[in-house]
Amino acid sequence: MEDKYLLEKIRNSDSRNYGFNLLVRDYQERIYWHIRKMVIDHDDADDLVQEVFIKVWKGIDKFREDASLFTWIYKIATNECLTFLTKKKRRFFLPLTDVESELATKVDTNSQLDGNDIQLKLQKALLKLPDKQRLVFNMKYFDEMKYEEIALITETSVGALKASYHHAVKKIEEIITHD
């Protein structure tokens, strides 16, 4: 559904709820999986995706349309993920490796995974990357987003993103090769 149509519905007080409902249905899966790949756990992802859309509701009137609606919502979701992971580390005073182990355990103990052994290894290898690098990798590799779009979301230059992704790929291949 076109951004223009959605925004028109939402900005009209008579159709605000209807328009917002359409927006949620349009973007919920992409936003959910973007978050889920970062936080691993479904319950955490569920909380965060709801928070994202609450923020979208509250901020939609201030949305300046200088980027697409998708970019804006994705940016909110990205920030929510990073904030969540940072808080997780601070709350329990866990060093990076302990949070990584915790997330890896969630991957291992999840009985409802749908993938082969190599795909499981890939997910655990991704957890060894810094959060922002993992984020960039997910957006490029799984979501197949363009660097320009990732640059808008992460407010990072295209060059830096290309370098980050290249290093991430090399690191993952090395981890899985020697696993």
Would you tell me which residues interact with other proteins (CB under 8 A)? 17, 20-21, 24-25, 28-29, 32-33, 36-37, 40, 42, 46, 49-50, 53-54, 57-58, 110, 112-115, 118-120, 122-123, 141-142, 169, 172-173, 176-178
As a three-state string, the secondary structure of 73-103 is HHHHHHHHHHHHHHHHHHHCCCCHHHHHHHH
Quote the CA–CA distance of 118 and 160 in Å, as a whole number. Answer: 28
Give 53 or 92: the residue with its C-beta nearer to other proteins.
53
- Min separation Cβ 93 and other proteins, Å: 28
Q: How far is the CB of 14 from other proteins (least distance, A)?
A: 15
22 versus 82: smaller Cβ distance to other proteins: 22
Contact partners, residue 120, CB within 8 Å, separation at least 6: 107, 113
Instruction: Write b or e for each residue in 83-119: b if 16 or more Cβ atoms lie within 10 A of its Cβ, otherwise e.
Output: ebbeeebeeeeeeeeebbebbbebbeeeeeeeeeeee
* Smaller CB separation from other proteins, 91 or 111: 111
Q: Which residue has the tokens 């697409």?
A: 68
Minimum separation from the CB atom of position 46 to other proteins (A): 8
Query: Which of 115, 130 has the CB closer to other proteins?
Result: 115
User: How far is the C-alpha of 162 from the C-alpha of 39, rounded, in Å?
Assistant: 23
CB of 85 to other proteins, least distance (A): 16
Taking the least distance from each CB to other proteins, the nearer of 93 and 167 is 167
CB 138 within 8 A of CB 37: yes
Q: How far is the CB of 32 from other proteins (least distance, A)?
A: 7
